[in-house]
Amino acid sequence: MYPYIPNTPQDEQEMLKTIGLDSINQLFGDIPEQVHLTKPLNIPDSKSELEVSGYLKNLADKNCPVSQLACFLGAGAYDHYIPSVINAITSRSEFYTSYTPYQPEISQGTLQYIFEYQTLITNLTGMDVANASLYDGGTAITEAALMACSYSRKDEIIVSAGVNPEARQILKTYAHAQNLKVTEVETKDGVTDAGMLESLLSDKTAAVIVQNPNFFGLLEDLKGLAEITHKVKKASFVAAVEPISLALLKKPGELDVDIVVGEGQPLGMPLQFGGPYLGFMAVKNDYIRKIPGRIVGETTDLDGKRSYVLTLSAREQHIRREKATSNICSNQGLNALAATVYMVTMGKEGLKEVAEQCVQKSHYAFNELTKSGKYRPLFDKPFFMEFALTSEDSVDKINKALLEEKIIGGYDLGKDYPQYKNASLYAVTEKRTKEEIDKLRRVLEAVK
C-alpha cells in the first residue's frame, strides 16, 4: 500500500469485478504490444517520508542560502523582508489545493482575492485594469509586446537595452517564432537614448519597451519616452516596473504609459532559486479586450448577492482556440495571493517605508563604497536601490573574496554588456544593515 493511494487489494478485486475484468493488466489491454512497456521504469523503488526528506535535506544543505550570508545581489530577484502572515495564508489548503475558479459558487475565496489583487495592482501602477497575473516579469514583457502587436496590427518592437537582458532574450525567442521584428535602442549614460529611439521609430512600430528602474538601477524619463513613442499612431508604450519603487516614484498611469508589466517577486515571495514568481500586468482601458490571461469581475448572483466570476473569457484559448489573444490558461494564483497579502499587510505606509529604506540604504552604500576611489560609479544618474560600480578587478575575483567573508557580491554586468567589463551591479534592500554594508566596504577595500 502507498500513503496516497487508498484502494485496498480487496477494493481492487470488487471494482474489477464490476467492470468485468480479472486483472489490473487487462485495464491496459488497449495499449498495443509494441508500445506497452514490459520492464519497470529505471527509477528507484518507493521510499518512506523519512528517507526522502533526509535525502532532500542533504541536497538543500549543499546550497548556501541568503539567510546565512549578506546578499547584495539583485538583477531581477531581490532579498526583501517577507512577513510571516504570508506563509500562514498561502499555506491554507483551501487556497493551494483548489483549481482555477471555474465553479464560482465554491471558489469565491480565490475569486475575491484576485479581485483585491487587481485593485491593488491598478492602484500601485495608476492604471485602469490589471489581469490576474502572468508567469513572471520576463514573459509578461513578451505578452505585452504581443498584445501591442495585436492591438496595432503591426509587427515591429523596439526594446531598450536597459531592459533586463533575460527578458529581452525571451522576447527575441518569441519574436523569432512569430516573425516579429525586434530592434534595440541603446542606452546613453545608462538610460535609454531618446534621440536614438526617435530615429528608430516608424509607422510600423507596435511597441516601445523600457524598464524603470532599468537593469542598471537607474531611473528612466518615462514621460519623455512615452511622448516620443506616441508620435506614432497606435504605438504602445510599455514600461516594466519594480513594484516596491512605485510607493515613491511617479506612477506609470501619471506618465502616459499604455501597458505596465513587472516582476512581482519583491511582493512577499522567497527567492526560491528563481521561481515561481509573479508577472503582473496592468493596462489602460483601451486594451481591456486584448489583455492576455485571466480577469476577475464583480457581479451579482441569483439572489442579488455581490459575487465574483472569471470574466471576459471570450479572449481566451478555451473559447477562441487558435484565435485567442494568448495560449495562456493559468495564472500564478498562489503567488498573486502572496502579493495581495503582502500589499495589504504592508499597507499604505509600510510599502513606502520599505521603499524609503531601500533608497536610503542603497545610497548610503553607494557613498561608502565609492569613497576611496577604488570603486567608481559606472553611471552618474539617479537610481532607486541598485547601482553599478567598476574597478580594476574582475567581478569574479571580487565576488570570490566577498563570499569568503559570507557576502554575496553584485551581478557581473559584463556577462550581458561586454562594454561594461569589471562592473558589478549591487542591490541594497531594506534587509541589509549598516553593519553589513560597512563590512562590504571593508572587504571590497581589501581585495587585492
Partner 1 sequence: MKEYNKLIFELSKPGRKAYSLPALDVEEKALDSLIPAEFLTDKGLNFPEVSEVDVIRHYTNLSNKNYGLDKGFYPLGSCTMKYNPKINEDVVKYDGFANVHPFQAESCIQGSLQVMYELERSLCEIGGMDSFTLHPAAGAHGEITGIMLIKAYHDKNGDTKRNKIIVPDSAHGTNPATAAMAGYSIVEIKSTENGLVDLEALKAAVGEDTAGLMLTNPNTLGLYDKGVKEISRIVHEAGGLLYYDGANLNAIMGHSRPGDMGFDTVHFNLHKTFSTPHGGGGPGSGPVGCKKILAEFLPKPLVGKRYDGTYFLDYNVPGSIGKIKDFYGHFGIFLRAYTYILIMGNDGLKKASEMAVLNANYIKEKLKDYYYLPIDTLVKHEVVFGGLKDTTSGVTTLDIAKRLLDYGYHPPTVYFPLIIDQALMIEPTESESKETIDGFIEAMIAIAKEASSDPELLKTAPHDTLVRRPDETKAARNPVVKYQG
- The beta strands (E) that lie in 198-248 are given as 205-212, 236-241
Compute the Cα dihedral for 67, 261, 143, 180 and give only its sign.
negative
* Site membership for partner 1, residue 170 (CB under 8 A): yes
Q: How far is the CB of 233 from partner 1 (least distance, A)?
A: 25
* Site membership for partner 1, residue 404 (CB under 8 A): no
Between 232 and 282, name the residue whose CB sits nearer to partner 1.
282
* Site membership for partner 1, residue 13 (CB under 8 A): no
Between residue 344 and residue 363, which ones bind partner 1 under the rule CB under 8 A? 344-354, 356-357, 359-361, 363
Which of 186, 272, 371, 442 binds partner 1 (CB under 8 A)? It is 272
Residue 297, SS3?
Answer: strand
Residue 434, SS3?
Answer: helix
Q: How far is the CB of 337 from partner 1 (least distance, A)?
A: 7
* Site membership for partner 1, residue 334 (CB under 8 A): yes
* Site membership for partner 1, residue 178 (CB under 8 A): yes
How many whole angstroms separate alpha carbon 325 and alpha carbon 315? 6
* Site membership for partner 1, residue 284 (CB under 8 A): no
Between 30 and 418, name the residue whose CB sits nearer to partner 1.
30
204: amino acid identity, one letter = K
Between residue 408 and residue 427, which ones bind partner 1 under the rule CB under 8 A? 408, 411
For 381, the grid coordinates are 544618474
Interface stretch with partner 1, choices 173-181, 193-201, 227-235, 440-448 (CB under 8 A): 173-181
Between 169 and 202, name the residue whose CB sits nearer to partner 1.
169
Between residue 204 and residue 263, which ones bind partner 1 under the rule CB under 8 A? 219, 247-251, 254, 263
* Site membership for partner 1, residue 377 (CB under 8 A): no
Q: How far is the CB of 314 from partner 1 (least distance, A)?
A: 7
List the 423-427 sheet strands across, edge first.
376-377, 386-390, 423-427, 411-412
* Site membership for partner 1, residue 62 (CB under 8 A): yes
* Site membership for partner 1, residue 447 (CB under 8 A): no
Phi/psi class of residue 300: alpha, beta or left (left: φ > 0; alpha: ψ in -120 to 50)?
Answer: beta
Query: Pairing relation of β-strands 70-71 and 407-408?
Result: parallel
Q: What DSSP element (H or E) covers 158?
A: strand 156-160
From the list 327, 331, 383, the residue with the least C-alpha distance to 360 is 383
Q: What DSSP element (H or E) covers 57?
A: helix 49-60
Which of 9, 22, 70, 135 binds partner 1 (CB under 8 A)? It is 135
* Site membership for partner 1, residue 440 (CB under 8 A): no
Q: How far is the CB of 203 from partner 1 (least distance, A)?
A: 23
Between 168 and 201, name the residue whose CB sits nearer to partner 1.
168
Interface stretch with partner 1, choices 187-195, 234-242, 326-334, 372-380 (CB under 8 A): 326-334
Q: Count the Cβ atoms, other than its own, within 10 Å of residue 56.
A: 10
Which of 22, 64, 181, 376 binds partner 1 (CB under 8 A)? It is 64
Q: What residues form DSSP beta bridges with 361?
A: none
Q: Fill in the per-residue mask, 146 to 165: x = in contact with partner 1 (CB under 8 A), - = not in contact.
A: x-------------------
Q: Do 382 and 219 form a contact (C-beta atoms < 8 A)?
A: yes
Verify cis geometry, omega within 30 degrees of 0, for the bond prior to 165.
no
- Total residue count of the chain as it appears in this document: 448
First CA to last CA distance, the chain: 61
How many whole angstroms separate alpha carbon 431 and alpha carbon 436? 10
* Site membership for partner 1, residue 335 (CB under 8 A): yes
How many whole angstroms separate alpha carbon 211 and alpha carbon 227? 16
Which of 229, 326, 391, 424 binds partner 1 (CB under 8 A)? It is 326
Between residue 14 and residue 53, which ones bind partner 1 under the rule CB under 8 A? 14-16, 18-21, 24, 27-32, 34-37, 40-49, 52-53
55 DSSP 8-state letter: H
Between 259 and 337, name the residue whose CB sits nearer to partner 1.
337
* Site membership for partner 1, residue 430 (CB under 8 A): yes
From the list 181, 110, 159, 139, the residue with the least C-alpha distance to 336 is 110
Between 134 and 232, name the residue whose CB sits nearer to partner 1.
134
Binding residue count for partner 1, defined by CB under 8 A: 203
